[in-house]
Structure 1
């Protein structure tokens, strides 16, 4: 009798869920055959598979693919993977779907309600508060930091001279971490010199844990995550990160001699000044935004710099034009005093960076989450749907980028303004990257400095990158080139 009741209940649930799924319109989108227990979660088992599997899904099923999360029988949790320009434009150009997907919550232990994660009125308030901190007049003052920290990078890269291969990633990542520490917190960390290694370790471990939680059913849910060793590792590393930021904040707050008209204010200085003047940001809110800037501002720019240098190694004719632009600006001087205006005048280098970020967007996917039923193109997308905007795939769509696999910086000389959502390495719309101008200036500063000092060549045999989506696009086997010092 009990078995009969259970069967009836299960059948009732099944037909109810089927009815919901048909009503919500997601049946319009094609989907791969799901696993009966895992749905489509089992399609990706490591970060190295994310890009290739996503590209294969788009190739096999079309520009928008429906995916199920969890057991097929019960699953009403669905996701859409899309490179459809019109759906992406609909999402990014409006203010209806602003909430980030559930995966972003894995960063919440570190970043709290920082700008990357928060939503609703809280996000709108903080976005409005933080926007003035990225005014070009303030960005100008950061250029000397880019330059001085970049000089240390050049010294460190000298270790690679005469070697058959140089993995750029560890060198560049420490450089961008040093830059972000000094610009975000006003603190020189000297990470490139081997100091504060505990902080570097904690950043790496915290990022690793957050990324791996996405791919692990046991670690995915907070209710079971505590059973894993990484739960306790994360607590240890977060204490290091939070203690460091709190100590810097308290030190600045207690320093009564702080000049509020300081010529080169760090991001933290601006937040503290605004908080004191307006009394609307708590110490914890300031900590969350500074940590968010630390997280979002180092790995992304490191990825952009490394992949651009990798592309330059493969395209000597492009590298020659980048060098020529530098010589037109500075002659044969390898260590000129760079200004904001001169960085702005590096137009061809900007095209090169944009093309690299098209082929290898630092943030290859972004996610949004529907909080209410939403109609798009005659289809009802129900609330609680995760929508993954696959930027890597969108950037390789031949409808918008002829010969999409080719590295052609000149395509950005006259990019079609009628398709603003076809190229979105910094996202777009109201939730676009608040620090995109900062990132472009930093990448120009570092890449131009390296090109002036070194000829970048491919390894022999040529190093093939193994793309890995770790929140930020990386190469699992490094980004290896040959560096030859210029005379």
Structure 2
């Protein structure tokens, strides 16, 4: 008869006697996660906060454990933790935050908007915005570019054009001013063991309520304008008219919540991938030349034709560079869940009700899957190399039934956008040092990522 080894208690990450790991998680979450895996293994328990108010979080770092949390036991790991609840209250209960029947209904209604054919149709908007950016850079006098801000503006303009079709200037200004503040507010409340109810008239609550009202009003106005239109192909118009016999259609609140989630998830994540891909290429000129030869061969060199979705397969080297950038700088460095029932991961017990995180930041650097993990090496993503690794050794778009619905759109925007920029410019390292990073809802650059650009041709 087989003998079952009982699950063991998870080791506790080193912390202070009074606050546990709270200070480390607030000051340097990325480094804290890496040290925890190095010192304690693939399932680690963090204790954060003073006694009596202490929270407990289990971190899972192995690819096999990540697959269990996100895919094979996805029903046992729900989006019930405090951070998702704060995000729901800030930007609504859209696809990123909804659960159960609500999520399934939303997914069925929204999925037809993200078919390969539909997504491929947005290549023109990406190419147009990339071309406009190259012209704007050409007007710059000193040849220096700060990539984090530039790629955030580019990605926001692309997602606004795809979502709204028009009103790009007005919409991107409102979103750029309100959305970061709402994210920061939600994150701080998620970490705080004691927080004032949102309806209390504190200065922070009043400021955020005003920003939220402005953002909601803008979305509601655009949605209302689309109700009588059927001849447009922007995503908001398609959402307004999305329906099926089983699920009906989305009401006004649901429409707004989907739009806000698309805005939140659709530009910062892509901007991070673009910025760090270009920074890495600036620091590795041989790789940049390798990719540029491919781009020139496909698009015809400086001033060549606009890329289309049909070019994606031919830009395989550029895609490998992008995937390696997303390995080293995943847009979502940690993803949270809450366990419903007792289970075990890698022989370590996870109790019912426990908060659980999986971390692309750590798993993407796990030495069991990535030799010399901090080295930039796009050839890690040849088809043969990818097939030889566990499925969840690389998961920048999540996985399982809650995998990102916009993965294809993000890849299209990133590959085609990079192709245009690399066709027109050479990128040189400005020797600005490492970019200081933090972890919010997404990966946060706490300093500039500067490069020098030289127009080609």
Structure 2 length-normalised TM: 0.91
Displacement of 1:73 in angstroms is 5.2
* DSSP 3-state at the match of 2:454: strand
**Inter-partner Cα distance in structure 2 for 1:51 and 1:466:** 11
Partner of 1:463: 433
Aligned CA distance change for structure 1 residues 103 and 181 (closer, same or farther; 3 Å): same
**Inter-partner Cα distance in structure 2 for 1:373 and 1:40:** 24
Indicate whether 1:266 and 2:234 are aligned.
yes
Partner of 1:484: 454
The counterpart of 2:9, out of the listed 23, 27, 38, is 27
Partner of 1:447: 418
Displacement of 1:482 in angstroms is 0.9
Indicate whether 1:371 and 2:371 are aligned.
no
**Inter-partner Cα distance in structure 2 for 1:35 and 1:280:** 53
- CA deviation vs aligned residue, 1:186-215 (integer Å, no higher than 9, x gap): 333136xxx863442112322232233344
The counterpart of 1:175, out of the listed 154, 157, 161, is 154
Indicate whether 1:50 and 2:21 are aligned.
no
* DSSP 3-state at the match of 1:68: strand
* DSSP 3-state at the match of 1:368: strand
Stretch moving more, 438-447 or 471-480: 471-480
Displacement of 1:69 in angstroms is 3.9
Indicate whether 1:62 and 2:36 are aligned.
no
Partner of 2:218: 244
**Inter-partner Cα distance in structure 1 for 2:119 and 2:411:** 11
Stretch moving more, 173-182 or 266-275: 266-275
Q: Is the 8 A contact 2:42 2:60 kept in 1?
A: yes
- CA deviation vs aligned residue, 1:400-437 (integer Å, no higher than 9, x gap): 01121111111111234351011101111111111011
Indicate whether 1:395 and 2:383 are aligned.
no
Aligned CA distance change for structure 1 residues 69 and 397 (closer, same or farther; 3 Å): same
- Structure 1: gaps spanning 5 or more residues: 1-23
Displacement of 1:184 in angstroms is 1.8
Aligned CA distance change for structure 1 residues 176 and 88 (closer, same or farther; 3 Å): same
**Inter-partner Cα distance in structure 2 for 1:120 and 1:250:** 28
Q: How many residues get paired?
A: 447
- CA deviation vs aligned residue, 1:249-275 (integer Å, no higher than 9, x gap): 11111x3x532xx4xx22222222224
- Structure 2: gaps spanning 5 or more residues: 1-5
Partner of 2:307: 338
Structure 1 length-normalised TM: 0.86
* DSSP 3-state at the match of 1:56: helix
Q: Is the 8 A contact 1:199 1:240 kept in 2?
A: no
Structure 1 vs Structure 2 CA RMSD? 2.3
Indicate whether 1:133 and 2:110 are aligned.
no
Partner of 2:320: 351
Displacement of 1:217 in angstroms is 4.2
Displacement of 1:332 in angstroms is 2.5
* DSSP 3-state at the match of 2:397: coil
**Inter-partner Cα distance in structure 1 for 2:347 and 2:325:** 36
**Inter-partner Cα distance in structure 1 for 2:296 and 2:452:** 22
**Inter-partner Cα distance in structure 2 for 1:137 and 1:162:** 41
Q: Is the 8 A contact 1:30 1:62 kept in 2?
A: no
Aligned CA distance change for structure 1 residues 196 and 73 (closer, same or farther; 3 Å): closer
| Aligned residue runs from structure 1 range 5-16, under 5 A | none
